[in-house]
Amino acid sequence: MDRNRRQFLGGLTAVVTGAVAGCSGDDGGPSSPTETATATQAPTRTATATPTETATPTDTATQTETATPTETATPTETATPTGTPVDAEQEVAVAPGDFVFEPESYEVPVGSTVLWVWEADGHNVKPTATPADSDWSGTPGDEGKTYSSGYEYAHTFTVPGEYEYHCVPHQSIGMTGSFTVTE
């Protein structure tokens, strides 16, 4: 193996020397036969080293694939306890094929339960505006916490008024909703 390494390094040195000589103001005349032969050998040796370097990212990708199921399992476990049947007066689809809430706006009477059902991954429901006495804070967790397809979130609204909400990661592209709780 040391012999191959020395040959490779020798070829690399010759290529670098040839490249430097080519940049040193040569008048464009023919190069020596030694430089030409060495320059031809160097790419062959480099090509041999490339498959070894390519194998490393493949190993890294395998490790990444192993880590992905672990991250996916957490939102699924979170969604399972909330998957109990909810008697909701209004159901809202979260991202049904697009970055929208469906319906986008609606009206419910005081004491009604609204159920949001996730049809796509990576979304949440956070209020933009609520009536002064409302304690509604949207989906559990901070604004960076999102949920996966199949997750359900329900809240019973006891304070009448206008409510506006959005999906934090997708608010800038118009994923917003609103509703009115009437007396």
**What pLDDT, in 10s, does the model give residues 59-100?**
443 333 434 433 333 332 333 344 567 899 999 999 998 999
Would you state the pLDDT for residue 85? 76
Q: Is 63 helix (H, G, I), strand (E, B) or coil?
A: helix
Would you state the pLDDT for residue 23? 45
Q: Is 159 helix (H, G, I), strand (E, B) or coil?
A: coil
The answer to whether 129 and 88 have CB atoms below 8 angstroms apart is no
Would you state the pLDDT for residue 3? 53
The answer to whether 161 and 131 have CB atoms below 8 angstroms apart is yes
Rounded to an integer, what is the distance from CA 39 to the centroid of its chain?
44
CA 134 to CA 75: how far, in whole Å? 27
Which pTM was predicted? 0.55
Would you state the pLDDT for residue 29? 42
Phi, psi of 112 (to 5 degrees): -80, 150
The first and second tokens of residue 123, run together, are: 């979304």
Q: Which part of the chain is CATH 2.60.40.420?
A: 82-182
Maximum C-alpha span of the chain: 95
**CATH H-level superfamily of 82-182:** Cupredoxins -  blue copper proteins (2.60.40.420)
- Residue numbers of the chain with a pLDDT score lower than 70: 1-84
Would you state the pLDDT for residue 49? 42
Would you state the pLDDT for residue 7? 59
The first and second tokens of residue 135, run together, are: 């304690």
Residue indicated by tokens 């060495």? 38
CA 170 to CA 63: how far, in whole Å? 30
